[in-house]
Structure 1
Amino acid sequence: MQAEIYDVLIVEDERSLARLHADLIDNHEKLRLVGIVGTLHEAREQLQLKRPRLVLLDNYLPDGQGITLMESDILRGLDCSVIFITAASDMDTCSQAIRCGAFDYILKPISWKRLRHSLERFIQFATTQRAFKIVDQQNVDNLYQLQSKSFNQEAGCKGIEENTLGLIRQIFIHGDSDLHSVDDIVSQTGLSKTTARRYLEYCVETAFLCVEMRYGNIGHPRRLYRRTPQSQTK
């Protein structure tokens, strides 16, 4: 059976975060990015036009809440899974997303490794669905296990090279209290923005860095990185 490529639509109005999502998809051989939109209106248009197999859906959008899209006839009429991404930590929103059939629910500030793990589980889930036209109980159990499989914080760190990691760490070690954006790291290291972002998120996952969101009066919030207090004592 020929390997299938799964089309992905990103619905996220924070541009830097949408780019982070896009980097993960662009670097995966089984995923294909078909669009990035920042409003519910654009999402509805692109769902009908592109008919993606997966949507990364933010909840708080300029023209409404993403959860309403999950309840819409447009999304229900597609063979499309949703990874719901939100700052909403209340149980009502979480329960509503689950009732609407969300494949996964990820809280902001988003974990790069957590999202990558979710994408891998989706691919396994979709591939398993495609493999069987008629199911027995074991097939059904496998599908449910893939959808609910717990996230392993100790998952591998493929693509992380020690010299590059050390270079980025030194920037924060020499300025313990300094905040740095992805662009700051790019200008100081010469790395591409995609690579710098990947290493910064790995440092967040390993508790060397933490993320701070800065909200200005104009434009989107900035994702900034600072060395964690616990790593300063090591």
Structure 2
Amino acid sequence: MINVLIVEDDFRIADIHEKFLREIDDVNIIGKALRASDAMEIIEKEQVDLLLLDIYIPDKLGTDLIHEIKKKHVDLDFIVITAANNTELLDTSLKSGAFYYLLKPVSISKFTDVIESYKKRRKSLKSSEFVDQKFIDDLIGNKSIERGTTSELLPKGVNPLTLNKVIRFMEELPNGITAEDMGLKLGASRTTARRYLEYLVSIGKVKAELEYGIVGRPERMYFSDSKR
């Protein structure tokens, strides 16, 4: 059983994340904290394994809270769930030991995938005293739910935050999308959108098919692999 504390100052979002957690086996919700001070108080009193942490909380930046907690609770893990989409905070969070970095709004499928991956890594570490290279490779691979989002080196011109946006959009589009329409959703050019979509095709997260319009001209449509 994993004991989880939600640290989120928007009670509506906290309630949504609590609802998501209740759909996942072997998870015990310790509580919800609106402030860093509330989180610290709960951590001192309760056994907490995992924090779901927002970056922007009223009395302290989430990344600062991680450093403060780690001084006394080195085994406590973090998953950042935030609207903060700048590279500096992503980099700081990952260097501080965050297991994953999720951008709001988070779909239930993405949320569940990340929690299940965390559970798998935690179970693996507790199941074996000694490791070989395959064990290590599998374990590190589990940390990146989407290949190439954060822990792997991305191709030139592919930004991890934009890539996560494209992935989220694809999860919400069961009927597929063209590169041109994806560009409109991203506020970017068709060429930029195609670069991200084709990268996802190359790693098996998206499938591409040719479809014919009214005038008979083939058009490349992209579909989330989970929707096919």
Shorter-chain TM-score: what band? Answer: 0.5 to 0.7
Letter of the 1:122 counterpart: Y
**How far did residue 145 of structure 1 move?**
0.7
**How far did residue 74 of structure 1 move?**
4.4
Partner of 2:73: 77
Partner of 2:144: 148
Aligned match for 1:109, one of 102, 105, 108: 105
1:180-199 matches, cutoff 5 A: none
1:10-159 matches, cutoff 5 A: 10-74=6-70, 77-150=73-146
Question: Equivalent residue of 1:10, what SS?
Answer: strand
In structure 2, the CA distance between the partners of 1:204 and 1:24, relative to structure 1 (3 Å rule), is farther
Instruction: Give the Cα separation in 1 of the matches to 2:83 and 2:72.
Output: 24
Deviations, residues 143-164 of structure 1 (Å, cap 9, x unaligned): 101112317xxxxxxxxxxxxx
Identity over aligned pairs, percent:
27
Q: Which has the higher contact order (CA 8 A, sep 6+)?
A: 1
Deviations, residues 104-155 of structure 1 (Å, cap 9, x unaligned): 001122222211111111111111111012222222112101112317xxxx
Unaligned runs of 5+ in 2: 148-168, 175-228
Instruction: Give the Cα separation in 1 of the matches to 2:55 and 2:131.
Output: 34
In structure 2, the CA distance between the partners of 1:73 and 1:63, relative to structure 1 (3 Å rule), is closer
Letter of the 1:133 counterpart: E
**How far did residue 33 of structure 1 move?**
0.3
Instruction: Give the Cα separation in 1 of the matches to 2:69 and 2:83.
Output: 25
Partner of 1:206: 172
Instruction: Give the Cα separation in 2 of the matches to 1:29 and 1:99.
Output: 29
In structure 2, the CA distance between the partners of 1:32 and 1:110, relative to structure 1 (3 Å rule), is same
Instruction: Give the Cα separation in 1 of the matches to 2:45 and 2:51.
Output: 14
**How far did residue 24 of structure 1 move?**
1.7
**How far did residue 47 of structure 1 move?**
1.5
In structure 2, the CA distance between the partners of 1:21 and 1:75, relative to structure 1 (3 Å rule), is farther
Q: How many residues align?
A: 154
Letter of the 2:35 counterpart: T
8 Å CA contact retained: 2:40, 2:69:
no
Normalised TM-score (structure 1): 0.61
Instruction: Give the Cα separation in 2 of the matches to 1:149 and 1:95.
Output: 17
**How far did residue 205 of structure 1 move?**
4.3
8 Å CA contact retained: 1:51, 1:78:
no
8 Å CA contact retained: 2:24, 2:112:
no
